[in-house]
Amino acid sequence: MASYDFTAIESRWQKCWLDNATFRTLGPGDEGFDISKPKFYVLDMFPYPSGAGLHVGHPKGYTATDILARYKRHRGFNVLHPMGWDAFGLPAEQYAIQTGTHPAVTTKKNVDHFREQLRALGLSYDWQREVNTTDPKYVRWTQWIFSKLYEKGLAYQSEVPVWWCEALGTVLANEEVIDGRSERGSHPCVKRPLRQWMLRITQYADRLLADLEGLDWPDSVKAMQREWIGRSEGAEVRFAVDGATGDDGAAAEFTVFTTRPDTLFGATFCVLSPEHPLVDSIAAESQKEAIEAYRLEASRKSDLERAELQKDKTGVFTGAYAINPVFEEGDPRRRVPIWVADYVLMTYGTGCIMCVPGGDERDFEFAQKYDLPVVFVVKPDADGADADAAAEACSTGDGVMQNSEWLDGKRVAVAKAEMCAWLEERKIGHAKVTYRLRDWLFSRQRYWGEPFPLLHDQEGQVRLVAEADLPVSLPVLDDFRPNAEGDPPLARATEWCEVVDADGKVWRRETNSMPQWAGSCWYYLRFCDPQNDMAAWDPKIEEYWMPVDLYVGGAEHAVLHLLYARFWHKVLFDCGLVSTNEPFQKLVNQGMVQSFAYKNTDGVLIPVDEVKEADDGHFEMIASGEPVERFVAKMSKSLRNVVNPDDVIAEYGSDTMRLYEAFMGPVTASAPWNPRDLPGVHRFLQRSWRVFDAGLSDTPNDAVERALHACTKKVTTDLDAMANNTALAAMMEFVNTATKEKAQLTANQGSRFALLLEPFAPHLAEEFWSMCGGQGSCAWADWPTFDESMLVSDTIELPVQVNGKLRGRVTVPADAPHDDVEAAAVAEVAAHLQGKTIRKAIVVPGRMVNLIAN
């Protein structure tokens, strides 16, 4: 009797896989590639290789995809299952600023560590396809794709107020700032105008929205993207300023965007945002001072503060009036005051609005505060006494128009359409779609990112670096801070910055760099053809592998990464460079692996390693015995509750680690890491080992054979549904049966079980496979089949209910006719039927019997 030596088994098979390149994936053009087989591209979101290494949260998704990848190989698919590194980014650069260690050095060290940790998990990646976004061979093509965007006019420079983070020394995109603090590191940020590169993602807003339809993605992610894109249908309406003329002598006017053109008869005032360019020219002399003060105050407030103060609206009257075009000349309602207020944002719509206090709660609040007139133009659908009250209240929903002359009595939807037509006829407005999505702020003032392939001349002209000169590599620096003038760190490389072309003309390199998102926008394409030096990818190869059939990653990328990558992909599609409209057909968000954390009675966090469980099941501090409270939280350094997979692997082996990750629950569910549960899955592997270690038999045990067929069916259907936890439960049941039967498996049975186990615990499965006489790796062996006839038994046990309550069970032949089953059931529960008459008998074949009696 040998014991289950997981360390020896796992290192032996990992070496075997490496030596034999077992998981090398061939593609179109490779010798020996079989293009007739179906393909399956299963992708993990590649990690940023941080200095902290893996924690047990990473492998949750990696295990799930690896199980599927291994299963699909057995099912005869060409499986593309690669891994790489999203290796540009801030931490390595900040570390460089602090220590002088070049980011490339730090990055290489971290990547090596990550790779080693992933290998230890026995993940079946094709390591020859590994990509690294910081590799010049990769950067070259990131820059090349940027060139495509630039050529299509999708990249432009703009002086924009951007989030500036002093602590990080860089600008951040809107979405990288949460509540006025940086997403990474939570440093305070302020708005500051700077020259930036922007990408016109807004040009793709409609397609990014519409194409969500066909994707097999979680509803939550689709909803988030829809909200982020924020399509809203409405109209633009031109308002003339009463009596004012513009610089060119024509009447001054402004255009508002509204989603409710139907309520134009209720527009009793207008509001311009404080940044609106018209404010200065229309302001009455008497109001100028107040307006200046208000604008100054508004400019000091960050967006955050403006949002925080949303309950208390403020504003200043400009002294000017606008003409509401729906009213006849001479109608007193025609002239409406123009205000300035910071609840109107310059960055959305046209930066100014028409205000209908009767139909918009924000306008209503503002009108109340400053005593502006209110007209109720929509009468909501209501009955009786409520109706009269409702007609005299702010109504933002559907209903029937009132106080709106020729629109009166019409429903909102009809009134919208008719008003749009009316405006268009008179050329004072038109239907319009607006998006909340803004253009993508694409430049950063960092060293550790892709340089832009762009050159500037003295006159401010910009041109692309020739394709033949790509990549533009990062200059070697030893100081990674911005220079004295506040220019990005790349400006320190004075020689690098200066480029003289063939005509002797001097150009200056762009010194901004790309954000970390750039590399992750197309890595899934490079995985198709990672070694190609002639092109980013070969179109034939791309066409075979794309789209990604399953993409697994965290929900934190629901909007940013996934929206940016979709955008690039659509641009590449328009360039004829990729064959699909969307990159990721199916998306799954893996749940978070949380961890227990502890706090004492004062609410102070106590590190995990200073706490023990007391005999009564409560938790206390090891040193003092002081009671602490346990709670479930995200793993984080500050909570000192991070679990490192290396420790788990050392104690139980990577097969146990993988099994635990898979057994915790559905891939999509979050659950706390509970070390107490590890021995459970480890015991399963040990029991399996004992079954095989007992030796093989020549004659199959019938009960074991039946159990194996049932297990095969369950594991197969569960794997197809990614229900890895219940597939494992089925295998546990099989091993329990085999153990109970004290039967030796036949070589054939053992091989079949080994294959079922292989996706989950590949090392031990390979060992079982060879114990059963299998040659080499079983990774590509055909998946076992099952026989339905082995799953049915001669007799079945049926529950018997009386009036819907379970009262007994009967065992009947599986093919017993309805009447026999009923008779047997009646006999079984006779005691419960005494004095009653059976009114109805419901017999569901193979399921149950329900007798209705009274």
User: Exposed, middle or buried by CB within 10 Å (0-12, 13-18, 19+), for 328?
Assistant: exposed
Q: Is 687 in the site for RNA (CB under 7 A)?
A: yes
Does 78 bind RNA (CB under 7 A)? Our answer is no
DSSP state of 327: S
**Residues in 318-357 that interact with RNA by CB under 7 A:** 342-345, 347-349, 351, 353-354
Give dist(CA 2, CA 761) in Å, integer.
19
Stretch of 247-255, 603-611, 723-731, 777-785 lying at the interface with RNA (CB under 7 A)? 723-731
List, in sequence order, the alpha helices (H) in 301-391: 303-308, 361-370, 384-391
Using the rule CB under 7 A, give the single segment among 205-213, 323-331, 623-631, 678-686 that binds RNA: 678-686
d(Cα 191, Cα 309) in Å, to the nearest integer?
A: 18
- Helices 654-663 and 58-74: crossing angle in degrees, nearest 10, is 100
Shortest Å, Cβ 402 to RNA: 19
Q: Which is nearer to RNA, 106 or 656 (CB)?
A: 656
Under the binding rule (CB under 7 A), the answer on residue 688 touching RNA is no
Cβ of residue 529: shortest distance to RNA, in angstroms?
35
- Asked if residue 306 binds RNA (CB under 7 A), the reply is yes
- What does 413-449 look like in DSSP terms, one character per residue? HHHHHHHHHHHHHTTSEEEEEEES---EE--B--SSS
Cα–Cα nearest to 671, from 611, 590, 552, 588: 590
Minimum separation from the CB atom of position 852 to RNA (A)? 5
Tell me the backbone φ, ψ of residue 799, rounded to 5 degrees.
-75, 145
Minimum Å distance from CB 257 to RNA? 5
Tokens describing residue 309: 């103060």
- State which residue, 377 or 779, has the beta carbon closest to RNA: 377
DSSP string, 745-789: PBHHHHHHHHHHHTTTSHHHHHHHHHHTT--S--TTSPPP---GG
Q: Is 726 in the site for RNA (CB under 7 A)?
A: yes
Stretch that binds RNA, among 52-60, 140-148, 440-448, 799-807 (CB under 7 A): 799-807
Nearest CB to RNA, comparing residues 637 and 840: 840
Work out whether 259 is an interface residue with RNA (CB under 7 A): yes
683 forms part of the interface with RNA (CB under 7 A): yes
Does residue 419 contact residue 261 with C-beta atoms inside 8 Å?
yes
Q: Which residue has the tokens 């003092």?
A: 624
Q: How far is the CB of 181 from RNA (least distance, A)?
A: 13
536: helix, strand or coil: coil
Minimum separation from the CB atom of position 840 to RNA (A)? 6
Query: x/- binding map, residues 396-435, to RNA, per CB under 7 A?
Result: --------------------------------------x-
Q: Rule CB under 7 A: is residue 266 a binding residue for RNA? A: no
Residue 731: CB minimum distance to RNA, A: 8
Q: What is the C-alpha to C-alpha distance for residues 818 and 829, in angstroms, rounded to an integer?
A: 17
User: By rule CB under 7 A, what string of x and - marks binding of each residue 165-204 to RNA?
Assistant: ----------x-----------------------------
What does the alpha-carbon distance between residue 854 and residue 839 come to, in Å, rounded to a whole number? 7
Q: Which of residues 271-290 bind RNA (CB under 7 A)?
A: 273
Angle at 394 between CA 389 and CA 398, to 5 degrees: 90
Q: x/- string (CB under 7 A) for RNA, residues 519-558?
A: ------------------------------------x---
Residues 201-240, mask of contacts with RNA (x by CB under 7 A)? -----------------xxx--xx--xx-x-x-x------
Under rule CB under 7 A, residue 394 binds RNA: no
From 383-391, 635-643, 682-690, 747-755, span contacting RNA (CB under 7 A): 682-690
Helix (H/G/I), strand (E/B), else coil: 232: strand
Which residues between 238 and 257 bind RNA (CB under 7 A)? 257
Binding residues among 648-667 for RNA as defined by CB under 7 A: 663-666
| Burial bucket for residue 143 (CB in 10 Å: 0-12, 13-18, 19+) | buried
